[in-house]
């Protein structure tokens, strides 16, 4: 039985509303709620929990985070995961993916100083895969790792990228994130069922992030499907630097407060004209700050 005399350290492995499932250092899992109106607890957070005599507890403190991935629109912020080291952007040969979402995810990755991997799933479909790779070549040229695989056939190519990392899967619905999780964590459906029962939330836990241990040093967080990725939490200067190919030209524009729109003497726009920056990237930047 857990020690109830003092707060215990826990890792949040699932959440729904104010209900959380935490894993103690002993491996015991306990259902928790937050004290009072405390909020902002997410999957991957380390917390202190005051345990009751049963397998329940109250989160009394969230411990400092090493990293954070979240999105924000004009109205609210949505934290996706905490204490991660890598973001895996999952796209698929079919159905078609939104290139815009990749631009925005990568900006969030750069803003959070995280690693990124673009994983093209369902690559066993030859013709759609060729079209997808043509679109994704832009990101590969920028230095982002690009991996083609089929979760239904062979997950082996992905495993080296997961070693020693706490990775979060992000992407649109229908890209095959669930298939990736099932292949990497064969009993993930059973674990999800246990989590649902522990949180008494039924099917609704599928709309929230869940953490799985691949081994002692490698962990995977599955997040809900995204249709948009707001970046209102980033300042314009941060978004500029989040576009990695802009960096050599920043500070060289005629005007110090250049927005790289239509200002004369813009070094970024000149780089586009000279073929040093892809116009698709500048257009994506304009849409983000627009």
Total domain count for the chain? 3
Question: Can you state the percent helix, strand and coil of the chain, rounding each to 5?
Answer: 30, 25, 40
Identity of the highest mean pLDDT range in 31-45, 178-192, 235-249:
235-249
Name the pLDDT band for 192 (thresholds 50, 70, 90): low
Spell out where the chain has E strands. 8-16, 19-24, 29-34, 46-51, 56-62, 68-72, 77-82, 86-92, 115-121, 146-148, 166-170, 210-213, 219-222
pLDDT at 213: 95
- Residue 61 β-bridge partners: 48
pTM for this model (two decimals): 0.90
Instruction: Give the CATH number for residue 54.
Output: 2.40.50.140
pLDDT at 204: 36
Domain enclosing residue 19, as ranges: 8-62
Whether residue 282 has pLDDT greater than 90:
yes
Residue 58 sits in the same domain as residue 112: no
Tell me the percentage of the chain whose pLDDT exceeds 70. 90
- Residue 14 β-bridge partners: 21, 210
Of 120, 149, 117, 153, nearest to 134 by C-alpha is 120
Instruction: Give the CATH number for residue 192.
Output: 3.40.50.300
Mean pLDDT, the chain, integer? 89
Mean pLDDT of 8-31: 92
**Could you identify the residue written with the tokens 């059973």?**
190
Beta strands 86-92 and 115-121 are parallel
Residue 139 sits in the same domain as residue 280: no
Mean pLDDT of 170-185: 91
Residue 82 sits in the same domain as residue 46: no
Residue 40 sits in the same domain as residue 175: no
- Of 111-125, 133-147, 190-204, 265-279, the poorest mean pLDDT is in 190-204
Name the pLDDT band for 3 (thresholds 50, 70, 90): low
Residue 28 sits in the same domain as residue 79: no
Whether residue 249 has pLDDT greater than 90:
yes
Of 145, 216, 225, nearest to 181 by C-alpha is 225
Whether residue 117 has pLDDT greater than 60:
yes
């Amino acid at each position: 039985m857990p020690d109830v005399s003092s707060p215990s350290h826990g890792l949040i492995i699932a959440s729904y509303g104010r209900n959380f499932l935490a894993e103690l250092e002993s491996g015991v899992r306990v259902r928790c709620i937050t004290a009072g109106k405390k909020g902002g607890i997410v999957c991957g957070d380390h917390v202190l929990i005051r345990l009751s005599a049963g397998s329940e507890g109250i989160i009394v403190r969230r411990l400092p985070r090493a990293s954070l991935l979240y999105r924000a629109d004009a109205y609210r912020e949505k934290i996706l995961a905490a204490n991660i080291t890598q973001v895996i952007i999952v796209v698929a040969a079919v159905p078609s993916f939104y290139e815009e979402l990749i631009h925005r995810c990568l900006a969030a990755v750069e803003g959070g100083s995280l690693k990124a991997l673009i994983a093209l799933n369902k690559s066993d479909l030859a013709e759609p895969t060729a079209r997808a790779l043509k679109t994704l070549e832009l990101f590969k040229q920028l230095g982002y790792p690009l991996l083609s695989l089929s979760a239904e056939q062979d997950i082996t190519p992905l495993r080296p990228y997961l070693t020693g990392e706490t990775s979060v899967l992000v992407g649109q619905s229908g890209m095959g994130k669930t298939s990736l999780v099932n292949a990497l964590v064969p009993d993930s459906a059973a674990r999800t069922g246990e989590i649902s029962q522990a949180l008494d939330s039924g099917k609704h836990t599928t709309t929230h992030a869940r953490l799985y241990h691949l081994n002692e040093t490698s962990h995977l967080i599955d997040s809900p499907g995204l249709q948009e990725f707001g970046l209102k939490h980033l300042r314009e200067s941060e978004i500029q630097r989040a576009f990695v190919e802009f960096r050599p030209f920043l500070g060289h524009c005629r005007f110090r407060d250049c927005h790289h729109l239509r200002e004369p003497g813009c070094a970024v726009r000149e780089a586009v004209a000279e073929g040093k920056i892809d116009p698709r990237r500048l257009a994506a930047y304009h849409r983000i700050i627009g």
